[in-house]
Amino acid sequence: MATLTHEKEVLNYDTGEVETLNDNFVQLYMDNIDLISEMIGENPTAAKIFMWLVKRMDKRNALVVSQEALAEAMGMH
């Protein structure tokens, strides 16, 4: 699989395996930090869902989840 621009493949000399650095990397623009803080204060459930989505999205920021599965994951079923 091709690496993204923020990722780097390196050889682990102990195991001989090629590892990807920054594989668990997410980035937010500073402009959005205030909005996220506001969202946490106004609607903690929305913030919880947002963080759940960010944590599970793939390297292309994509995620497919049904409303039912999301509600179950959030304990809202």
Q: Compute the distance between CA of residue 63 and CA of residue 50 in angstroms, rounded to an integer.
A: 12
pLDDT digits (tens, 9 = 90+) for 6-59: 667 888 899 999 887 776 778 889 999 999 999 899 999 999 999 999 999 988
Looking at residue 30, the DSSP 8-state letter turns out to be: G
Half-sphere exposure for 23 (CA within 13 Å, toward CB)? 8
Residue 72's nearest CA partner among 42, 51, 52, 43 is 52
Answer with the residue of higher pLDDT: 72 or 59.
72
Q: Compute the distance between CA of residue 69 and CA of residue 77 in angstroms, rounded to an integer.
A: 9
pLDDT digits (tens, 9 = 90+) for 59-68: 888 999 999 9
Residue 20's nearest CA partner among 33, 38, 37, 7 is 7
